[in-house]
Structure 1
C-alpha cells in the first residue's frame, strides 16, 4: 500500500505542469557545498577529510548565489529575448529558481555546511585520490526523488 502511494506521488510530481526550462542556460559556479548532520560533521572533523563511511560517493551541491543566478539569466534573456521588459525579466528569473539549490539557507540533508571553491575541491581530490593527475569529470546519472530531481556528475581518478 505505501509503495503504491509513493508511486502515485512520484507520478503526480513528474507529470506536474512545468514550463519548459530555458535551454541552454550556463551558470558560472565558483563554489560547492557539502551538507551533513551532526554525526557526519563529527566524522569529517575526526578524519580531516570527506570520506563517507556508508557510501562510495561524497555528495556536493553547487552553491548558487543570487549574483550567479542573475548573471546566467541576464545573458540568456539578452541572447534570446532582447525586447523583454524589466517586469517580465523579474518574473522569468523567479519562475526558474525555486529549487532548494537556489535557497542557500535551506537543506533537507542537515544543519552543517562545508563550502569551498570548486577549484580547491578539485585540487584536493587530485592530490588525495588521483596521485597528482587531473581527475575526470563525467555525467553519472539522474535520480528522481519525491522532492527533487538530482543530476549527478562523477569525479574520479584517470585510472577509474
Structure 2
C-alpha cells in the first residue's frame, strides 16, 4: 500500500488546547513535519499560520545542536519490551473497579470530517539499562557535554504528565490478553495509525486491532519491517523504535521529541469491549506526577506516598475478597 500524502490536519475536540495536528496512516519524520508546517505558515489560513508557529520554533531550535544533528543521522534505537498506561485517581479507581481498560474516543479522520473510534492508549517503558547502553554506544561518537543532554524527554522520565498510577506490562502479556479477549486467540493486526504533533511532542502511533475489523482500518498501512521507520516490527515479532529526538529541552530551550504509542482498538463501552488484565505489585505502581499535569480530574496529582496508600488499599481489599 502506498503511503498517504503528507497533510497535517488540525486535531480538535471539546476542551482541547489549540496547536495539535494529525497525519493519518504515516509516521512522519521531523523534517517532513517542518516542511508541512512551513507551508501552513505561508498559507492564507490565519489559524494555520498561528498554530504552526510554536512547533516550528521548537523544531528550528534543534537545527544547530550537535546532539540533535547526530540523532537525525543515527536515531536512538529502542526495543519495545514493556508498555505502560498512566492515569490519575479517577482513572485508577475506574480501571481497578472494572478490572480492565476501556477505550477512549479519538478522531482519526484525514480530513475535516469526523471519524471517531475508541482506543486504549499505551506508551513504551524505557529501562535505565537501555539508557546506559545507548550512552555507552555513543560515548566515543559525540562530546561528553553533548551526551549529557541525553535523554531529558518525558519518554525517559520517571515522572508522568498523566498522573500518579502506572499500569505496566510486558508487551507480550498485553498482546496475549488482547488476542485471547478480542481476536479469538489469533494474532492481532498491527497498522500505522499515524502521527500526532503537539507543540513539542511527536507521537507515532501503532494501531492494534482484531482481523474482524480489517474492513474498518483497511486504508491504514500494515506495520513495516523497514528499520528506518519510526516504529517497525522485525521477523520474530519484536517491535523497535527509532527516536530522532530524546530531548524536550536543549540548553534550556524547548525543542520537539518523539513518543512511540500503541493504541489498542476497543469498540464500544460495554464490559465485553474492555481489555481485562490481572494487577500485581509489579504491574501497578505509584509514580511522581509532573507539574505540567495533563489530567484535569480529581486526584490527578498527589504525593507518591498518598498514591501508594490507594494502591495498598486496593490490594488489601482484593486479598480480603479472595478469603
Choose which of 16, 26, 32 in structure 1 pairs with 2:61. 16
Judge conservation of contact 1:100–1:107 (CA < 8 Å) in 2: yes
- State yes or no: 1:100 paired with 2:162: no
Q: Distance in 2 between matches of 1:47 and 1:145?
A: 31
Aligned equivalent of 1:40: 91
More helix by share: 1
Larger radius of gyration: 2
1:7 deviation in Å?
3.7
Q: Could you say what secondary structure the match of 1:134 adopts?
A: coil
SS state at 2:77 partner: coil
Corresponding residue of 2:239? none
| Pairs within 5 Å for 1:50-61 | 50-54=101-105, 56-61=118-123
User: Matched residues in 1 for 2:156 and 2:120: separation?
Assistant: 20
2:192 is matched with 139
TM-score w.r.t. structure 2 length? Answer: 0.41
Deviation per CA, 1:58-113, whole angstroms, max 9, x where unpaired? 111101011012224545x4xxx8xx27x83x555443422101012x11112211
Q: Does 2:128 correspond to 1:66? A: yes
**Paired residues, number:** 150
Change (3 A) 1:9 1:153: same
Task: List gaps (5 residues or longer) in structure 1.
Answer: none
Deviations along 1:2-41, whole A, 9 cap, x unmatched? 8676543222123322523253543123211101122211
Residue ranges of structure 2 left out of the alignment (5+ in a row): 1-17, 19-46, 107-117, 214-323
2:204 matched to 1:151?
yes
Counterpart position of 2:179: 126
CA distance in 2, matches of 1:49, 1:121: 12
Work out which of the residue numbers 133, 147, 162 in structure 2 matches 1:109. Answer: 162
Residues 28 and 72 in structure 1, CA contact (< 8 A), matched pair in contact too: no
CA separation in 2, counterparts of 1:92 and 1:136?
40
Alignment partner, residue 221 of structure 2: none
- Give the TM-score taking structure 1 as reference length: 0.78
Query: Mean alpha-carbon deviation: is it higher for 119-128 or for 137-146?
Result: 137-146
Residue aligned with 2:207, SS: strand
Root mean square deviation, CA, Å: 2.6
Q: Residue in 1 aligned with 2:80?
A: 29
**Are the aligned partners of 1:73 and 1:93 in contact in 2 as well (CA < 8 Å)?**
yes
Does the residue aligned with 1:26 lie in a helix, a strand or coil?
strand
Give the SS at the match of 1:137: strand
The answer (yes or no) to whether the contact 2:104–2:119 under 8 Å persists in 1 is: no
Work out whether residues 70 and 93 of structure 1, in 8 Å CA contact, stay in contact via their aligned partners in 2: no
Q: Supply the distance in 2 between the matched residues of 1:29 and 1:46 (Cα, whole angstroms).
A: 28
